[in-house]
Amino acid sequence: MKYLLFFAIVFTTLFTSCVTKKEYQELEEVKNYYETEAQSADSIRNEYNKLAEEGRQLEIEIRNTRLELEEYVVTNRSLHRSYQAVLDKMELIRMERDELDETTAYEKYNLQQQLSQQQYNLDESRDRVTGMERELYQKDNQLNAMEYDYTSMKGSIQEKNLRIAELEQMLSLKENNMDNVRERLNSMLLNFSRSDLNVEEKGGKLYVSLSSNLLFPSGSTQVNSKGKGALRQLAETLKSNPDIDILVEGHTDSDGNALANWKLSVNRAVAVTDVLTSYGINPERIIAAGRGEYVPKAANNTPAGKALNRRTEIVLSPKLDELYEFLSRD
């Protein structure tokens, strides 16, 4: 499923007029935190795969246990037939002995010798039967223990299947929410040129890229009327999907001083955040961040490349709080 990999992002809004060294370091920590959260989202997928693999392994163990049960049943039946054959043989010997009683003494003596030998053999047979009965008893106990283990394993598999089904339902709901946002954004694209507004899907997230020409006058941090119109349409889409987290990232080209570019990117990200919240987006859903010139989309050695890099990206990702709570349950 194309949205099974999700990344959790905790929001921190940066409102500042300048970036000090300490704040620069804090921004680095925010970046590292995002990378850690991305790895955490991968672990959710791995946990899901681990649960599915455990389910398959338990199914294999159940099939093997069933085969062993069937083998024990066949053995039990074979032993029972052998025991019955011995009983039949004993009955036949007794009948033969009764007939021998009616013969002559000499014949009777010989027959008695034969009977003694046969009795000895019979005793040995009885001993073997006793051993077989003891073995049957032990195997019955083993069968009972295996049936108990089978029942326990079956219950464990059912519980894991329920957890997997619940997890899949949660993921499906979040995937549907992202599909709905994607569909509405595609409709929104019809009102703008590709150079001004573009939507990409990467790693289970949606990246809405707005050019600086669409949002800001040259060198300004105040959103113009055309940019506000675009942000209003975006806000309407996001308000109807409250389970989507929002990261607003400001980007610049490499012209000028790097620190000044970073400051500009931060201020523009904050300005876009202000506009979105003014249109009804809950501030708790949004984090603003400046990337400066350090995450370019194209090389900065051509005017076209620089234009692509001067942008504001709004990164949309599903909330993962419910998934974390679900996975932390016993």
pLDDT winner (highest mean) among 15-29, 117-131, 312-326: 117-131
Beta bridge partners of 311: 211, 251
| CB crowding 215-243: b at 16 or more within 10 Å, else e | bbeeeebebeeebbebbebbbebbeeeee
Contacts with 292 (C-beta within 8 Å, 6 or more apart), sequence order? 250, 251, 252, 258, 261, 262, 264, 265
- In terms of pTM, does the model score above 0.75? no
The amino acid that residue 281 corresponds to is I
Structural contact between residues 149 and 65, judged by C-beta atoms closer than 8 angstroms = yes
pLDDT by residue (tens digit) across 186-207? 888 888 888 899 999 998 899 9
Residues 2 and 35: their CA atoms lie apart, in Å, by 20
DSSP 240-263: T-TTEEEEEEEE--SSS-HHHHHH
Structural tokens at position 187: 């409709």
Query: Are 177 and 322 spatial neighbours (Cβ–Cβ below 8 Å)?
Result: no
pLDDT at 281: 95
Beta bridge partners of 210: 197, 312
Architecture of domain 21-45+177-328: 2-Layer Sandwich (3.30)
Judged by average pLDDT, the poorest of 217-231, 279-293, 308-322 is 308-322
For position 4, what pLDDT does the model report? 41
Q: How many CB atoms lie within 10 A of CB 115?
A: 17
